[in-house]
Amino acid sequence: MKSFLKKSALVLCGLLLSIIIIGQFFPQTERTAASPVVAEKVLVPGGQSVGVKMDVRGVLIVGLEEIEGKSGEKVNPGLLSGLQIGDIIMAINGTEVYRADEVQSIVNEAKGTVRLKVKRNDSIINVEVDPVESGEDGLYKLGVWVKDKTAGIGTLTYYDPSNSTFGALGHGIVDPETGAILSVETGLLLESQVQEVQEGKDGEPGEIRGIFYHSDDPLGSLEKNSSYGVFGLAYHPMESPLYDQPLAVGTREQVELGDAYILSTLSNNEIKRFDIEIEKIEDQDSPADKSMVIRVTDEELLEESGGIVQGMSGSPIIQNDRIIGAVTHVFVNDPQRGYGIFIEWMLEESNLVEK
């Protein structure tokens, strides 16, 4: 399994390699003149290892290179036209592109200047590029390396029985070269089996290595990839082997310093509870991915993995019998500690997924 992460002060601990919630965050039942009755939001907690397979919307530029033309002169047409690593090519000469091979095909049919519709961050720009005829193989080239697919391992955070939606990872799937959040064209949530857990050490985060299986019977469709997780629609109801009933959602105001636990799957392929301590809570009034600092205190987890490792992101955080968040990052120089995101921010993002 390939890693999509590079060493840094913080490392996303999820992938190696983005729902309409009926009612408001806490849906309210029918009002009466005497007193309102409010029903708590409830979710089925996750913790199982899952595979994410995703086709990128458009094709992502992950590299720029010089092309040696027939004259022997080397030139990078993409760079000269202002293209950048991280740009997503949405269309060429008015034709939408979804696969890397489509870019090459359209450019060679044109044999001249091409007009690109490009997504850069949150903006759409138009770029004209003059391809170079390669002296090596005679193909017209833009001088860009592109990709259109990605896949990896993470952890399911929750399943919402009220509308069959799910959330996982707690952070977005990003391209390792560019750091760009990849837009979903199509995607699937698959069952995953943990094969090996590599222990994390100071300066070197560990990772969960696994394989996809039952790919012909996916768990659900992936509809959205964002900074706060991946979200989609489950094909069948999901159950927890640890809980007979869904758990209530905890708001950020209900999160407390002190003891809590996470649900995660290691080499035994069983969802287990692992003790943690919430050391710091951020005062956040708007969505952000680093909502709390957590520290692993569970001896079993420390012995097997050294703490938080890549592949555990999305592991639900539970405190006082409420789902309050999910694991998102590990501290590279201290694998016993990491960040978590408030579950509220994940649920807000899942509102944007359309049935």
Does residue 160 have an active-site annotation?
no
CB 5 within 8 A of CB 20: no
**Which of 313, 315, 329, 350 is flagged as catalytic?**
313
Quote the CA–CA distance of 186 and 228 in Å, as a whole number. Answer: 18
Contacts of 346 (CB under 8 A, 6+ apart): 157, 158, 167, 170, 228, 229, 231, 326
Does residue 329 have an active-site annotation?
no
**Which of 55, 171, 329, 350 is flagged as catalytic?**
171
Tokens 């990003």 belong to residue: 174
Does residue 313 have an active-site annotation?
yes
Token pair of 329 as six digits: 């990052």
CB 193 within 8 A of CB 209: no
Report the relative pairing of strands 144-160 and 42-45 from DSSP bridges: antiparallel
**Which of 148, 160, 175, 298 is flagged as catalytic?**
298
What residue type is 123 in one-letter code? S
Q: What are phi and psi of 228, to 5 degrees?
A: -115, 15
Quote the CA–CA distance of 260 and 270 in Å, as a whole number. Answer: 19
Q: What are phi and psi of 134, to 5 degrees?
A: -70, 135
Quote the CA–CA distance of 100 and 90 in Å, as a whole number. Answer: 11
Residues annotated as catalytic (active site), given as ranges:
171, 298, 313
